[in-house]
Amino acid sequence: MSDEHSDKISGRAGDTPPVDPALFWRADVRRVLAALDIGGLYRVLGDVAGFSQRQIAACAGQSQSEVSEIVVGRRRVESHEVLGRIAEGFDIPRELMGLSWWGPGGAYCGEVPVTESSTGEGEDVRRRTLLATASMAAFGQVVQGLGELTELALPTGGPLPKRLSMAHVHAVQAVTARLRGVARQFGGQAELFGAAVQHFTRWMGVSASDVVKARLAVALAELHTEAGWCCYDSGMDGVGYFTRGLQLADVARDGFGIANAAWHAGLTMVRSGHPNDALKCFQLGQFVLAGFQPGKAKPAILRADDPRIPTLAGRLNRNSATAYALMDHPAQAKRFLAEAQDGWAPRDAFAQAGMALAIAGIELDLRRFDIAESFAACAVGTYGEGHRRGRIQAELALAEVHVRAGEPRGLVLARQAIDAVSTLQSVAVRQERLVPLAAALEARPGNDAKEIARIAHQVAATRM
């Protein structure tokens, strides 16, 4: 056996120099650790602590050739298991690398915004990370082929409370509810949710009882999930927020929070052209709500009388139907649509209108225009005054149904809906509803239709 591999197996070498624990708490080194820049960490260990690459390899449980490739940037470390081994090998506090949740230097005390990629990965890799996180939250393990777990660091700044109480948890819940209302009225609001996430997530490092910590994790999971959705609605990448939302809900074993984050993440995927990945998220959410978590020592907490669960189960089924319709599987789409409607009673007008709008979209994809028209009209009439975004989205869907069906009112409805959507800050509504409406208008004969299509494209390309 070579010296290189014997070092790798035996753990820390006997001649490695000691590391001053204060090194890892230096501001510059904390930024390296928060970003999971293992190459930068190894360079610090070499330059400051006097480690050779052979000694680094022995402590990290890697070969010297692997260390060399990491140092020069030819290899990245993204595996959660390997990151944990590195932290253990050098006695690095796990919270500094985002590998644990609580403490003043926890995973939420980095300085990289959540909407940015801390590892420079592409969109596909970030979706794989989210799916892996959802799988871990649902089953306690990553389903093969879904990706690897990685961490995303978050920013800091401003004073912190000395100790948390339930009043702080209620504050997070109240702010989330208020911002959700603003988003439902005007669309967008990624910047407001981002500011709230940056402020409140830092509370994870403040002293509190175990009960308060768990309740804070639940509240922050909801805040992150809403932030991810609003990022998507604003034309930004919200995957990092969804990933954090899943992790936070998993910390508290909040079954509703896990399923809710999986549903929201899948909803953005199905609408951005990734229905297969969306189905994985919806299925994970359905498994959690059904109590199917074979890899979890402690099952997720679900209250049997929680009125939100039937609504969420219906949403997961109806959006599974949407994904199947987009993938040209009409039989599966109809089956899940029937399951979504079977025995489901909406909690409020918003939920009822949302279901009607989703069914209208599915029926539109299936080219059943009469059914789509009735559900789109129902959605338009059901959305309340505080839900302008949803009502305008329904108006666009209704206009598209009439235009594609060749109905005389199609052009009038289209022009009214285009004027309405121009007042929203939602990039997603413009892309999801205006672009298909413009295509339907272009397919109709006559100069009037072509002119309205031109206006639709112009509004779709404009951001408020």
Q: What is the C-alpha to C-alpha distance for residues 334 and 113, in angstroms, rounded to an integer?
A: 41
- pLDDT tens readout for residues 22-81: 888 887 888 788 778 899 899 999 988 889 999 999 999 899 888 988 988 888 887 767
Tell me if 99 sits within 8 A of 83, measured CB to CB. Answer: yes
| Of 217, 325, 315, 231, nearest in space to 266 by CA | 315
pLDDT of res. 186: 87
**132 vs 144 pLDDT, higher one:** 132
pLDDT of res. 158: 61
pLDDT of res. 227: 93
- pLDDT tens readout for residues 402-442: 988 888 888 999 899 888 888 888 888 888 788 888 888 88
Sketch the domain layout of the chain as residue ranges. 3-97, 101-301, 346-464
Banded model confidence at residue 228, pLDDT cuts 50, 70, 90: very high
Banded model confidence at residue 85, pLDDT cuts 50, 70, 90: confident
Cα end-to-end span (Å), the chain: 65
Q: What is the CATH number of domain 346-464?
A: 1.25.40.10
Contacts of 187 (CB under 8 A, 6+ apart): 233, 234, 389, 424, 425, 426, 428, 429
Q: What is the mean pLDDT of residues 241-246?
A: 90
- 338 to each of 125, 127, 291, how far by Cα in Å? 34, 29, 22
Of 139-143, 179-183, 303-307, 368-372, the range with the lowest mean pLDDT is 139-143
Average pLDDT score, the chain: 80
Domains 3-97 and 346-464 share a fold: no
User: Which CATH fold would you assign to the domain 3-97?
Assistant: 434 Repressor (Amino-terminal Domain) (1.10.260)
pLDDT of res. 6: 37
The answer to whether residue 173 scores a pLDDT higher than 70 is yes
Q: What is the mean pLDDT of residues 323-341?
A: 84
- State the Rg of the chain over Cα: 25
**214 vs 367 pLDDT, higher one:** 214
The answer to whether residue 166 scores a pLDDT higher than 90 is yes
Of 115-129, 261-275, 300-314, the range with the lowest mean pLDDT is 115-129
